[in-house]
Chains A and B, each alone.
Chain A
Amino acid sequence: MEQQKGGIYRYGMVIDLDKCTGCGTCMIACAAENNVSVRPDQTDKERTITWMKLYKITNGKEFPHTEVSYFPRPCMHCDEDGRGHHQPSCVSVCVATATKIDHNTGIVSQIYTRCIGCRYCQAACPYGARYFNWWDTYFPKGKGLERYLSPEISPRMRGVVEKCTFCHHRLMRAKTQAYAEDRTDIEEHEYTTACAEACPAQAITFGDLNNPEHKVSQLIKSPYAFRLLERLNTKPKVYYLSTKDWVRKMADNYLPGEFKPVTKVTG
């Protein structure tokens, strides 16, 4: 894995697919944390909004050899090259400068009040991580759902695109706490995403990929680490770990004979 270059911090995520049980807690935690609107009919999956989405994949074999794995998919927060030439695909197509990559943190921002809803970014994103608001924010009345809304998250209006922000408000919260304690740097445990915090199997790890002391930067050195559609050169900051060859093979489009399974494992 190449080392990320750019600004001071490069926040990223490592998801261990061998640990993931597919329980969906990350999806629930994400939606609750980020005031993600629901639909009266949540079964209409073309219109529902899931910043963190769980995919189920199988190796397609007959019963005794069937294997299943689950793929949590947040926004990949694709990286820039640090020279301003290479931008995340959603950023380079945005006509309204509503989405940008923060050079200091590597987080791809989405400003709802700036978004004009052209959905270019949605088309440009190879991961389907962006969602369009076809309606205004809706929470069923009388269910007490509005009491769970977070004041730290701005609600989205009809006609804008939204996506995972790596729980950016938690970074703000951690910064504010640090300033109150006369610090300017943030510890590893102070900033983590809602999905990583909620995962009961602890499959999701979050931290600074640039900091060699953070757990994520050690995990991505594993030979089993891979990224989704890595060869598109989008430089995602979300890494996956899987010891299963067929899972790693599914993460990209390989020609026959092109995929190289991990044969030598050291350490």
Chain B
Amino acid sequence: MKNQASSSQKTSKFGLTSLFNRFISFEKGSTFLPPFSFGVWIFFLAGLIPSLIVGWIIYPMALYSKQPQPMNFNHALHLNPEIVDGIEGDTETERCLFCHTFREDGTFAGIPKLDKCLECHDDPESPLGETPEEQEFLNKYVAEEQEIPWLSYFRQPDCVYFSHIAHVKIGDQDCETCHGDFGRTEKLPAYKVNRMTGYSIDIWGRNIAGYKTNTWDRMKMDDCAECHTENDLEENNACFVCHK
């Protein structure tokens, strides 16, 4: 009887409760280091949280260098027919094409040259508006006939051939589908370029995890292919349609 009692005592000592107690607290004189002690959790989190912050916030910020545009351009103002007389076109896309034109051979002119600006801002002495940007533009570029060194947000890599006219005229796509609401912004955002690849953030996508909510969030090959597939144009996913 005595032996039985002592053995039951022994088992309770090594029961679940005592094991749990050993895990969460240091036992005096014990060489067994509990893996989930409170102190270890502190150190674990102290390492994990900063590394997550570095990986998801600081690194993506450090990856891209920020360059301001040479001067601001107010797209919303220029696309408003009530303010700007010269702007023509019924749809937004047509109004975009007023400055961002197609050349006669169908190629896309991209960011307008100074000549296009001078169609309205032809006189350096008499500004049309009162903003400091326009004053700077007239003094610095128009008076000295210098092209504005715009930074292109949407420059694709060299191996890519993109036909704007195939998408806008034949495919009937809006500018907004790929370029977002640039036409309604009042300030040009800073040009962010990947320090390693040299590509703009608008090509790679702003979300470091690769999530995409709008069609204009990213301009990678998968995004092109996704839209082609959705519109039953899978033959346009052939390599030599967009590569050169």
For B165, give the chain A residue with the smallest CB separation.
A179
Q: Report A192 CB to chain B, min CB distance, Å.
A: 16
Q: Report B208 CB to chain A, min CB distance, Å.
A: 23
The answer to whether B157 touches A176 (Cβ under 8 A) is no
Interface bracket on A: 20 to 34
Does residue A107 face the partner (Cβ distance < 8 Å to B)? yes
Which residues of chain B have C-beta atoms less than 8 A from A169's C-beta? 161, 244
Which residues of chain A have C-beta atoms less than 8 A from B102's C-beta? 180
The answer to whether B170 touches A109 (Cβ under 8 A) is no
For B103, give the chain A residue with the smallest CB separation.
A180
The answer to whether B105 touches A176 (Cβ under 8 A) is yes
Which residues of chain A have C-beta atoms less than 8 A from B158's C-beta? 154-155
Complex Cα distance A178/B105, Å? Answer: 8
For A184, give its contact among B163, B170, B238, B240 (CB under 8 Å). Answer: B170
Would A109 and B105 be within 8 Å (CB), given that A172-B163, A176-B163 are in contact? no
Q: Report B134 CB to chain A, min CB distance, Å.
A: 33
Does residue B184 face the partner (Cβ distance < 8 Å to A)? no
Which residues of chain A have C-beta atoms less than 8 A from B166's C-beta? 175-176, 179
- Greatest chain B CB density within 10 A among A153, A173, A179 is at A179
Interface bracket on B: 20 to 34
Which residues of chain A have C-beta atoms less than 8 A from B104's C-beta? 180
Would A172 and B244 be within 8 Å (CB), given that A100-B239, A103-B238 are in contact? yes
- Identify 7 new A-B residue pairs, CB closer than 8 A, beyond the known A152-B161, A178-B106: A103-B238, A112-B159, A172-B163, A172-B244, A180-B104, A180-B105, A180-B106
Interface residues of B (CB under 8 A from A): 102, 104-107, 157-159, 161, 163, 165-166, 169-170, 235, 238-241, 243-244
29 residue pairs bridging A and B, Cβ less than 8 Å apart: A100-B238, A102-B238, A102-B241, A103-B235, A104-B235, A104-B238, A105-B240, A109-B238, A109-B243, A111-B159, A111-B239, A111-B243, A113-B243, A152-B244, A154-B158, A155-B158, A169-B244, A172-B244, A176-B105, A176-B106, A176-B165, A176-B166, A177-B105, A177-B106, A179-B106, A179-B165, A179-B166, A179-B169, A180-B106
